[in-house]
A and B are shown apart, each in its own frame.
Chain A
Amino acid sequence: MSKNHSLSILRMIFAGSVDDGKSTLMGRLFYDAGALPADQIDQIAQLRTLNENNLPDFSLFTDGLREERTKGITIDVAYRYFRTKNRQYIVADTPGHFQFTRNMITAASNANLIVLLVDVQQGMIEQTKLHMEIADRLGIKHWIVCVNKMDRVDYHMNDFERVSQEIQQYASAVYNRKNISIIPVSALHGDHVVEPSASMTWYSGPTLLELIEQAESNENEHDKPMRFSVQCFYSASEVATSKCNFALGRIEGGCVYPGDDVAVWPGNEQLRVSRIFVGSREVFCATEGMSVTMQFSNSCHLSRGMYLWDPKIELLKSRQPRVTVCWLSEQKCDFEAVYLLKHGHNLYKVRIQKDSIRDINSGGGAKTEGIQTKESRIKPTKSIGDIFGKENEIFNVLVNLEREMAFDPYTMNRNTGSVVFINPATFETCAAGFLCPFDNE
Chain B
Amino acid sequence: MNPIDELEAEAIYILREVYAQFKRPAILFSGGKDSIVLTHLAVQAFYPQKMPFPLLHIDTGHNFPETIAFRDELVRSRHFELIIGSVQESIDQGKATEETGPEASRNSLQTITLRDTICKLGLDACIGGGRRDEEKARAKERVFSHRDVSGQWRPDRQRPELWHHYNGLALKGEHFRIFPLSNWTELDIWSYIQRENIQLPSLYFAHNREIIRRNGSLLSVGPYLKPRNGEQTERLTIRFRTCGDMPITGAIESKAQTTEEVMEELKLMRTSERGSRADDQRSETAMEDRKREGYF
Instruction: Mark A residues whose CB is within 8 Å of B.
Output: 1, 5-9, 37-40, 43, 47, 61-67, 69, 75-81, 83, 87-88, 90, 102-103, 105-106, 109-110, 220, 231-232, 234, 238-242, 246, 248-250, 277-280, 287, 289-291, 293, 304, 328, 340, 342, 345, 414-415, 418-420, 422, 426-429, 432
B2 CB contact (under 8 Å) in A8, A79, A280, A420: A8
User: Closest A-chain residue to B283, C-beta based?
Assistant: A66
Q: With A5-B3, A76-B156 in contact, do A427 and B170 touch (Cβ < 8 Å)?
A: yes
Could you list 6 further interchain pairs (A-B, Cβ under 8 angstroms) beyond the known A83-B187, A328-B160, A427-B169? A5-B3, A78-B140, A88-B188, A231-B20, A291-B9, A340-B169
Within 8 Å CB of B164, what residues of A? 110, 250, 415
CA–CA, A277 to B47, complex, Å?
A: 9
Which one of B79-87, B110-118, B225-233, B268-276 is at the A interface? Answer: B268-276
Quick check: A67 and B156 within 8 Å, CB to CB?
yes
Q: With A239-B48, A280-B48, A427-B167 in contact, do A287 and B1 touch (Cβ < 8 Å)?
A: yes
Q: Which residues of B from 149 to 172 have beta carbons under 8 Å from A? A: 155-156, 158-165, 167, 169-171
CB proximity of A295 to chain B, nearest CB, Å: 10
CA–CA, A422 to B275, complex, Å?
A: 39
Which one of B94-102, B130-138, B197-205 is at the A interface? Answer: B130-138
CA–CA, A272 to B239, complex, Å?
A: 51
User: Closest B-chain residue to A250, C-beta based?
Assistant: B13
Q: With A80-B133, A105-B160 in contact, do A65 and B140 touch (Cβ < 8 Å)?
A: yes
Quick check: B132 and A81 within 8 Å, CB to CB?
yes
Within 8 Å CB of A250, what residues of B? 9, 13, 164
Within 8 Å CB of B17, what residues of A? 231
Quick check: B133 and A64 within 8 Å, CB to CB?
no
Quick check: A102 and B3 within 8 Å, CB to CB?
no
25 examples of A-B residue contacts, CB within 8 angstroms:
A7-B2, A9-B183, A39-B275, A40-B272, A65-B156, A66-B285, A66-B289, A76-B156, A79-B183, A87-B3, A105-B160, A109-B162, A110-B163, A232-B16, A239-B49, A246-B49, A277-B47, A280-B47, A415-B164, A420-B160, A422-B167, A427-B169, A428-B159, A429-B159, A429-B160
4 cross-chain pairs, A with B, having the tightest CB-CB distances, nearest first: A279-B44, A64-B136, A427-B169, A39-B275
Q: With A8-B1, A8-B6, A427-B171 in contact, do A248 and B163 touch (Cβ < 8 Å)?
A: no
Within 8 Å CB of B279, what residues of A? none
User: Closest A-chain residue to B158, C-beta based?
Assistant: A76
User: Closest B-chain residue to A419, C-beta based?
Assistant: B165
User: Closest A-chain residue to B167, C-beta based?
Assistant: A429
CB proximity of A359 to chain B, nearest CB, Å: 21
**B17-50 contact mask (Cβ, 8 Å, vs A): 1 or 0:** 1011000000000000000000000011111111
Chain A facing B: main interface SS: mixed
User: Closest A-chain residue to B183, C-beta based?
Assistant: A90
Quick check: A280 and B6 within 8 Å, CB to CB?
no
CA–CA, A102 to B50, complex, Å?
A: 39
CA–CA, A240 to B46, complex, Å?
A: 13
**B38-65 contact mask (Cβ, 8 Å, vs A): 1 or 0:** 0000011111111000000000000000
> Is B73 interfacial (CB-CB < 8 Å)?
no
Quick check: B20 and A420 within 8 Å, CB to CB?
no
Within 8 Å CB of B163, what residues of A? 109-110, 414-415, 418, 420
Quick check: A75 and B191 within 8 Å, CB to CB?
no
Within 8 Å CB of B6, what residues of A? 8-9, 289
CB proximity of A15 to chain B, nearest CB, Å: 15
CA–CA, A426 to B146, complex, Å?
A: 12
CA–CA, A109 to B160, complex, Å?
A: 10
CA–CA, A81 to B135, complex, Å?
A: 12
User: Closest A-chain residue to B47, C-beta based?
Assistant: A280
> Is B88 interfacial (CB-CB < 8 Å)?
no
CA–CA, A90 to B139, complex, Å?
A: 11
> Is B288 interfacial (CB-CB < 8 Å)?
yes
B137 CB contact (under 8 Å) in A64, A106, A342: A64
Quick check: B160 and A432 within 8 Å, CB to CB?
yes
> Is B257 interfacial (CB-CB < 8 Å)?
no
CB proximity of B265 to chain A, nearest CB, Å: 14
A248 CB contact (under 8 Å) in B16, B158, B169, B170: B16
CA–CA, A102 to B167, complex, Å?
A: 15
Within 8 Å CB of B137, what residues of A? 64-65
Quick check: A64 and B13 within 8 Å, CB to CB?
no
CB proximity of A77 to chain B, nearest CB, Å: 7
User: Closest A-chain residue to B191, C-beta based?
Assistant: A1
Within 8 Å CB of A246, what residues of B? 48-49
- Looking at A1, A239, A240, A422, the one whose CB has the most chain B CB atoms below 10 A away is A1
CB proximity of A311 to chain B, nearest CB, Å: 24
Within 8 Å CB of B162, what residues of A? 105-106, 109, 418, 420, 429, 432
Quick check: A65 and B285 within 8 Å, CB to CB?
yes
A238 CB contact (under 8 Å) in B3, B49, B139, B270: B49
User: Closest B-chain residue to A305, C-beta based?
Assistant: B20
Q: With A37-B272, A88-B3, A280-B44 in contact, do A420 and B183 touch (Cβ < 8 Å)?
A: no
Quick check: B16 and A291 within 8 Å, CB to CB?
yes
A79 CB contact (under 8 Å) in B9, B47, B132, B271: B132
- Looking at B46, B140, B170, the one whose CB has the most chain A CB atoms below 10 A away is B140
> Is B284 interfacial (CB-CB < 8 Å)?
yes
> Is B182 interfacial (CB-CB < 8 Å)?
yes
Q: With A250-B13, A426-B171 in contact, do A62 and B156 touch (Cβ < 8 Å)?
A: no
CB proximity of B192 to chain A, nearest CB, Å: 11
Quick check: A234 and B49 within 8 Å, CB to CB?
yes
CB proximity of A67 to chain B, nearest CB, Å: 7
CA–CA, A116 to B136, complex, Å?
A: 23
> Is B208 interfacial (CB-CB < 8 Å)?
no
CA–CA, A109 to B132, complex, Å?
A: 18
CA–CA, A102 to B157, complex, Å?
A: 11
CA–CA, A279 to B285, complex, Å?
A: 38
Quick check: A38 and B167 within 8 Å, CB to CB?
no
A106 CB contact (under 8 Å) in B5, B16, B160: B160
CB proximity of B273 to chain A, nearest CB, Å: 8
A64 CB contact (under 8 Å) in B169, B271, B288: B288
> Is B185 interfacial (CB-CB < 8 Å)?
yes
> Is B219 interfacial (CB-CB < 8 Å)?
no
CA–CA, A102 to B39, complex, Å?
A: 33
Q: With A234-B49, A250-B9, A291-B16 in contact, do A78 and B270 touch (Cβ < 8 Å)?
A: no
User: Closest B-chain residue to A9, C-beta based?
Assistant: B3
